[in-house]
A and B are shown apart, each in its own frame.
Chain A
Amino acid sequence: QKEVEQDPGPLSVPEGAIVSLNCTYSNSAFQYFMWYRQYSRKGPELLMYTYSSGNKEDGRFTAQVDKSSKYISLFIRDSQPSDSATYLCAMSKENTGNQFYFGTGTSLTVIP
C-alpha cells in the first residue's frame, strides 16, 4: 500500500464550480501537509502548506487536514480555466531530514 493515495482523475468541471481534491494517507506520523500545482511542462509550485490538523485559507483556496481520518482536502472556489493543472498533495514527518511523500496527482480541467 502506498503511503499517500490520490485519485488521479481526470476531473473536469465548469468555470465557477467548487472543486474538491483529496488525499488519504496511512502513516499517522505525518505532520506537514502541502498542496502543489503543476501546469503542463512546468515544475510543481507550492500552493498551500499546513501543519497538523485544521483549515487554512488563501484567496479562493482552502486546505483542510483531518488527522483522525488521515484525510486532506484542497477546495477551490469559483474555479477558473487558469486553475487547469495537475494538483499534487505531499506530506512529511517531524525530524526526517525533509523527506517528502507525494500523491500521484489529480488532473483538473476547468471548462470555460
Chain B
Amino acid sequence: DTAVSQTPKYLVTQMGNDKSIKCEQNLGHDTMYWYKQDSKKFLKIMFSYNNKELIINETVPNRFSPKSPDKAHLNLHINSLELGDSAVYFCASSPRTHEQYFGPGTRLTVT
C-alpha cells in the first residue's frame, strides 16, 4: 500500500545512454513533481504536472522529458546521460493543500 512509488531504486549507467524512471501514486492527488537532490541534499524542482498537464518546467536541459500518461503516473526520461546527472531523483505528489508526499527516490549514477 505504498503511497508514492518509484522504479528503479538504483540505476547505474554509462554516459550517453538513455534511461527512464517511473513514478506512481495511489493517493488520488492531482499534482505530481520531479525533484533532483544533489550531494549537498538540496532539493531542486524540475517539473510539475497537474491532472496530466505540465504546470512547472524549471530550467532543466531538454534532455529531460517528463510524461504523464494519467493522473496517477509521472515518468521521467533522460537522453544522452552526462556525469552531472548523477543524483537522487524524487517523485512527489500533492493534494491542493500545499503538502507533498515523496517517493523513496531513484539513485542515478552515471559513469
Contacts and interface: CB of A to CB of B under 8 A. Distances in A.
**Chain B CB within 10 Å, residue with most, of A38, A86, A98:** A98
Given A34-B98, A42-B104, A88 B43 contact: yes
Main secondary structure of the interface of A (DSSP, over half): strand
Contacts of A100: 45, 98, 100
A35 B107 CA distance: 23
Contacts of A32: 98
Interface residues of A, number: 25
Interface string A86-112: 101010100001111010110100000
B41 A99 contact: no
Interface string B34-53: 00000011110100101000
B64 interface: no
Contacts of A92: 98
Chain A to chain B: the 4 pairs with minimum beta-carbon distance, closest first: A43-B102, A32-B98, A105-B41, A97-B55
